[in-house]
Amino acid sequence: MTAKLKTAVLGATGYSGMELTRLLAHHPRLEKPILLRRDGGGNGARDLAEVFPGLSGNGGYPLQPLSWPELKRQDVQLLFLATPHEVSRSLVPAAIAEGLRVIDLSGAWRLKQAKHKAVYSFQDSDAVTAAELTKEAVYGLPELNSGRIADARLVANPGCYATSVILALAPLLQAGLVDRERGIVSDSKSGVSGAGKEPTARTHFVAVADNLSAYSVFNHRHLGEIVEQLELGTSELIFTPHLLPIPRGILSTVYVHLNRKMKSEDVESCLRAFYANRRWVRIFATPNLPQVQFSLHTNYCDLGFCLAEDGRRLVLVSCIDNLLKGAAGQAVQNMNLMYGWNEQEGLQ
């Protein structure tokens, strides 16, 4: 019988890290993941069930201090980082040097262009190594980069908003159907878990309940990801994120002008051809449109559209669960590709 892969997770006490732990613990090809903690992390918890009581039982989920020698002794081969951007930026060089493969759920290694990376203000202790790893890192969107992900040492898991927008636009842009000179608009809305586990004045119940608010207009961190992966100029896309008064889920409404008159069946054919045999993208036949509730607690990205009577104005609707296809589920999907397994394993 083939030995099971040993994995470790740093950052399991966050929402995405908790979801990732849950998925890894039930994956048929893995041993139970080793959960790591940094000094002062996880509010001093020694077991993940202290933070998320719903995980009680199943032998517990102990949190052990991060130690490279200990990970080597335990024969860990793959490290997941569900940590703040600056923490991942500092830890990945050491992890790669230790011979680990890494899937990073933060934004630390997603961006290639300096003008986009500047939003994070990283201060690398070894600028040369950081530059080499930035160049090497593979953007972990399986529907676009599955071949490169398979051989990667470092996979940069995409942002949740970016996943929803890129998957909606990629088929039409690659087919050359979008009138880019007229611009693209993405109106995107996310549940509160997308802001992370640490409470802020903006994510407090009193601020969120019975409310809808826009934020980070023109300067959201995911904008750089979207334009880099779609090979757009920053001026060609207006991306506006909003905070929904729901726990999880993303709905992106994307507005484009087409450069020629099309029929609805042509648009649908373009989307279906692009995502043929891609397990985790579902195309809705017009006039049906995705809703947040349809993709919740799944790894699906649901795509639908409406075409105006003039055949030139198109509205795309894209829905994902921000903690799954937008984070933990996509990380597992990337792991499956890295080890030559079916992308569905551990996600059904």
Q: 12-40, pLDDT tens digit by residue?
A: 999 999 999 999 999 999 999 999 998 75
Q: What distance in Å separates the CA atoms of residue 33 and residue 45, rounded to the nearest whole number?
A: 17
The single residue of 160, 270, 301, 319 carrying the catalytic annotation is 160
Q: Is 306 a catalytic residue?
A: no
Instruction: Give tens-digit pLDDT for 245-289.
Output: 999 999 999 999 999 999 999 999 999 999 999 999 999 999 999
Alpha helices for the chain (secondary structure H) = 15-25, 68-73, 85-97, 114-117, 127-136, 142-150, 160-174, 205-208, 222-230, 264-274, 292-295, 328-338
Residue 117 to residues 85, 113, 121, 225, 228: CA-CA distances in angstroms? 11, 6, 7, 10, 11
Q: List the one residue out of 21, 25, 18, 61 whose CA is nearest residue 197.
A: 18
Residue 62 to residues 10, 28, 36, 72: CA-CA distances in angstroms? 12, 20, 8, 18
59 pLDDT tier (thresholds 50, 70, 90): confident
pLDDT for 188 equals: 98
Q: What distance in Å separates the CA atoms of residue 203 and residue 208, rounded to the nearest whole number?
A: 6
Cβ contact 161:250 at 8 Å: yes
pLDDT for 41 equals: 53
DSSP 3-state of 9? strand
Is the pTM value of this prediction over 0.85?
A: yes
| 1, pLDDT greater than 70 | no
**Domains in the chain: ranges and CATH:** 7-157+327-338 (3.40.50.720), 160-320 (3.30.360.10)
Q: What distance in Å separates the CA atoms of residue 62 and residue 251, rounded to the nearest whole number?
A: 35
